[in-house]
């Protein structure tokens, strides 16, 4: 009897060990299967079109950079990168839609300096903190532009007239707030009449049509009109003259110590998987080095200024600090 009892225990233990072994085997199999599935998800990205939201109208500088970049990135991603222009609110409409999109990597947003300036002015709730950053792509100085037959022959002429006629000279603003002109107003103690437009694509025709006296855009946004003799640049808001437009003086040459410009980068919704962000980062970095993209940017007087996600975050933090000082000055004057 005792022998049968011991035998029963041994059999029970053997069966138990077998079942545990099977369980571990199944768990290992499930774990390996899950790892394989995860790898498959990452490897399969992208499986369809990627949308690149541009928060300004077609034809402007942001749109031009985005389209050229998309063409170069498609070669790396193996899928079309489709431009979607979402205008309104000085960029807030498009950037908000981008931030609220599904965090799967299939919606990328081209964010601009307005992602910093709008919340500082209390004009939008969206900010850079609502995104995971991919990279900065471009940086350009600002340029003061008038119609070719304008009475103003220099930036000093324009500013002198503004001092005599405060609030009367019409300025085509490409964004609200427009920190290009705000920097000038604060430094020179002048006031312009700000007329809002949805980016340079609308502001430039307003100047050409005589609806406003001047605008401030990036050189690349107005290069064709400058070369055609339709627009005349008064000054570039940079530390030095531009290679493509060497005859245009800097504001500093006229004794006006104001430097300003814009930047354009890429971001995805918060919570996008790291593996997907890595794929996008690698693709867009290589796109910035693409020969056709580089050639387009050079010919268009658009500057390539690549920063990875971490560098881009620091860059935005520094720009936020800079623009905050301008906002503080504005509040003091109110």
> Phi first, then psi: what are they for 9, rounded to 5°?
-65, -45
**Lowest-pLDDT range, 34-43, 44-53, 166-175, 197-206?**
34-43
Q: Residue 170: helix, strand or coil by DSSP? A: strand
Q: Tens digit of pLDDT for each residue in 78-111?
A: 999 999 999 999 999 999 999 999 999 999 999 9
Burial class (CB in 10 A: 0-12, 13-18, 19+), 47: exposed
Domain with CATH 3.40.190.10 in the chain: 141-254
The model carries a pTM of 0.79
The pLDDT-based confidence of 333 (bands split at 50, 70, 90) is low
Burial class (CB in 10 A: 0-12, 13-18, 19+), 332: exposed
What is the CATH class of 141-254? alpha beta
Domain with CATH 3.40.190.150 in the chain: 50-139+262-333
CATH architecture of structural domain 50-139+262-333: 3-Layer(aba) Sandwich (3.40)
Q: Tens digit of pLDDT for each residue in 232-245?
A: 999 999 999 998 89
Query: For 268-281, what is the mean pLDDT?
Result: 98
> Helix H segments across 78-178?
92-99, 114-120, 155-164
């Amino acid at each position: 009897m005792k022998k049968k009892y011991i035998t029963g225990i041994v059999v029970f233990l053997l069966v138990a060990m077998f079942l545990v072994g099977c369980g571990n085997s199944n768990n290992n199999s499930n774990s390996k299967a899950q790892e394989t599935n995860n790898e498959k998800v990452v490897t399969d990205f992208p499986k369809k079109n990627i949308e690149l939201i541009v928060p300004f109208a077609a034809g402007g500088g942001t749109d031009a950079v985005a389209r050229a970049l998309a063409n170069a990135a498609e070669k790396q991603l193996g899928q079309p990168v489709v431009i979607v222009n979402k205008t309104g609110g000085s960029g807030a409409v498009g950037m908000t839609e981008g931030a609220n999109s599904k965090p799967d990597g299939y919606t990328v947003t081209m964010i601009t300096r307005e992602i910093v300036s709008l919340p500082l002015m209390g004009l939008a709730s969206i900010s850079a903190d609502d995104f995971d950053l991919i990279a900065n792509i471009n940086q350009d100085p600002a340029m003061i532009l008038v119609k070719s037959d304008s009475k103003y022959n220099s930036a000093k002429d324009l500013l002198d007239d503004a001092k005599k006629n405060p609030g009367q000279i019409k300025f085509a603003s490409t964004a609200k707030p427009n920190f290009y002109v705000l920097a000038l107003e604060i430094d020179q103690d002048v006031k312009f009449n700000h007329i809002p437009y949805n980016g340079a694509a609308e502001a430039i025709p307003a100047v050409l049509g005589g609806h406003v006296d001047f605008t401030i855009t990036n050189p690349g946004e107005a290069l064709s009109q400058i070369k055609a003799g339709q627009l005349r640049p008064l000054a570039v808001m940079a530390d030095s003259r531009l290679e493509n437009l060497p005859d245009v003086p800097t504001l500093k040459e006229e004794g006006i110590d104001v430097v300003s410009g814009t930047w354009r980068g890429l971001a995805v919704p918060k919570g996008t998987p790291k593996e997907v962000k890595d794929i996008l980062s690698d693709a867009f970095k290589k796109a910035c080095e693409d020969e056709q993209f580089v050639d387009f940017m050079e010919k268009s007087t658009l500057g390539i200024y690549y920063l990875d996600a971490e560098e881009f975050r620091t860059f935005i933090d520094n720009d936020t600090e800079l623009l905050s000082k301008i906002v503080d000055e504005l509040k003091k004057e109110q």
